[in-house]
Structure 1
Amino acid sequence: MAKSEGGRLVWNHSTHLDGLIPVLERLANASGIKTITPGVLSRVKAHSPKLKIRLSVPIRGGFKAIARQGKTAQEVFILTTLSQTELEEAISQAISK
């Protein structure tokens, strides 16, 4: 469990994108984040050399994001009280650390 003001990271899959888990752990420590759940891995056509996390669609209580690296993408479900803009800023800070 993370700090009391942060959220938790759910481990429900055995495989994740390289480097994704440390970024999600930093993101989970941000205030306003309740739960982060990595989802399905999939192959994509375009190549993304660096890890990127982009918000996809709003879901009940948060947002669905897509994490991409190389030719692989992974869904990430983020339950939060943050607005879309605040969450995008928190994600960029977590990636840049």
Structure 2
Amino acid sequence: MGRLVLNHSSNIEGLIPILQKLALDINIKTITPAVISRARGRSSKLIIRLSVKTINGYKAIARKGKTAQEVFISTDLSKDELKKILDFYNRK
């Protein structure tokens, strides 16, 4: 079971409950929401997509509306395994 690091006072609406559920996975070590920015396109619902591999795991991008937020996930899972888990939460 991982832990969710809450450094920022602001996050994309609906992101924290999804990350809390994701942190319950035994293979997830740490989840850290990071920088919030403006995106060019629009996303009608919250979508979390894997971006790049990092030293400890992966960087993901959470998008809703015109807002995007980086999320760092520390894990030993492969990219495909983590992508399957994120796709499950994206469908809800």
Normalised-by-shorter TM-score class: over 0.9
Name the structure 2 match of 1:64. Answer: 59
Q: Percent identity?
A: 57
Total equivalences in the alignment: 92
Q: What is the RMSD of the two structures over their aligned residues, measured on CA atoms? A: 1.0
Contact 1:55 1:65 in 2 (8 A): yes
Name the structure 2 match of 1:94. Answer: 89
Contact 1:23 1:95 in 2 (8 A): no
For structure 2, the residue ranges without an aligned partner over 5 or more in a row are: none
Name the structure 2 match of 1:48. Answer: 43
Q: Output the CA distance in 1 between the equivalents of 2:13 and 2:32.
A: 16
Trace 1:11-26 onto structure 2 (pairs within 5 A).
Answer: 11-26=6-21
Name the structure 1 match of 2:26. Answer: 31
Q: Output the CA distance in 1 between the equivalents of 2:80 and 2:55.
A: 17
Name the structure 2 match of 1:83. Answer: 78
| Structure-2 change in CA distance of 1:91 and 1:77 (3 Å) | same
Q: Tell me the amino acid that sits aligned with residue 36 of structure 2.
A: L
The alignment's TM-score, normalised by the length of structure 2, stands at: 0.95
Contact 1:10 1:38 in 2 (8 A): yes
The alignment's TM-score, normalised by the length of structure 1, stands at: 0.90
